[in-house]
Amino acid sequence: MTPLFSSNRVAAVALASLVILAPYASSQQLLIDHTTTDPGQVPDGWINQTKAVLHIAYNHTSHGSQLITGMNAIEAYPPFGDRYEWTDDGSAGLDLDDDGIPCNVPDLSQGDWIDGNGVTPWVTCTRSFLDLPANAHVNVIMWSWCSIDGHDAQRYVDNMEILVAEYPDVDFVFMTGHAQGQGHDTSPGSVHYNNELIRNHCAAHGRTLFDFADIEAYDPDETYYWDQDLWDNLDYDGGNWAVSWMNTNPSAELSVLTSGDGVAGYSGCTSCSHSSSPSQANINCVLKGRASWWLFARLAGWPGPGVVFSNGFENGGTGGWDAVSP
């Protein structure tokens, strides 16, 4: 058999393995949280690789739409050009099928029961979706919660594991639930209890976790608010952390992405579901949109900041590969 690549075949195979298997296929957890909300650290080559290799289906209702709202805001920010371009049908930029899995339940909260197949209905719907030949290219599945309060997080992780086992070539992104003013209440079924159960499961099993709650819990200076009865619009016992942080940092990129102040042709991030009052709380969507691009880059094979390949492929470029006919 003629090799696919000539002089750099070993390097090509190594990087291709990263792209196909990526960190999510390893035993090490991939955690997306408040420390991973700056996709500006991702080299351009890996952003391009992300657009080239990922095909994502994401189902959600209003709280889950915060990721999409944030992605739309940073896509529209003129200084970024088309770096963060995405489309629902994959015709340009990143292929993200928004609410693309037909189902009788729109999110995890409304699908927290066992159907006639012995699994949650969102598992049945995901199976039907992935089993269609037309969806053979889909390699990332995401479902988000509405309210996680009072739900069965153990049933959730158990059913996610069913999908993980049945579709080894697809990455399934686990999620926590949003703040509801409960602080560190550890009563079974409470928000914090369920979030901790999901976090512990993902850490123990090496799963990919988009920690929705953790992104809300910290301001950009890493001050922690979850223990102060934080709500999903970033209100807490002492005020609203988005208001105080943006008032202190009006010219920071995060503030400008949120407000649009001083940027011609850009109105900022608006209408962030459940987090648009006060207006500064729209930063919640911006952070989640930015974290989404970090997630996607990691799933596409980016090893994270500070990792250098001896062969020079750390930027995601493949131009040095010598392609030959098979």
Q: Taking residues 7-21, what's their average pLDDT?
A: 35
pLDDT tens for each residue of 154-174: 999 999 999 999 999 999 999
pTM score, whole prediction = 0.88
pLDDT category of residue 73 using cuts at 50, 70 and 90: very high
Residue 317 domain-assigned?
no
Residue 114 domain-assigned?
yes
7 has a pLDDT exceeding 70 = no
Residue 4 domain-assigned?
no
Q: What is the total count of domains within the chain?
A: 1
pLDDT category of residue 148 using cuts at 50, 70 and 90: very high
Residue 141 domain-assigned?
yes
Residue 37 domain-assigned?
yes
Supply the range of the domain harboring residue 282: 27-309
Q: Can you give the pLDDT at residue 311?
A: 52
Q: What's the CA gap between 120 and 114, in Å, rounded?
A: 5
Query: Tokens 């609203």 sit at which residue?
Result: 240
pLDDT tens for each residue of 116-146: 999 999 999 999 999 999 999 999 999 999 9
CATH of the domain at 305: 3.40.50
Task: Name the strand (E) or helix (H) holding 59.
Answer: strand 55-59
Residue 323: count of CB within 10 angstroms of its CB = 10
Q: What's the CA gap between 302 and 40, in Å, rounded?
A: 13
Whether the upstream peptide bond of residue 326 has omega within 30° of 0, thus cis, is no
pLDDT tens for each residue of 242-258: 999 999 999 999 999 99
Residue 143 domain-assigned?
yes
Which residue(s) pair with 31 in the sheet? 209
322 has a pLDDT exceeding 90 = no
Residue 9 domain-assigned?
no
pLDDT category of residue 313 using cuts at 50, 70 and 90: low
Residue 290 domain-assigned?
yes
User: Do 123 and 101 touch, CB atoms closer than 8 A?
Assistant: no
Q: What's the CA gap between 179 and 223, in Å, rounded?
A: 16
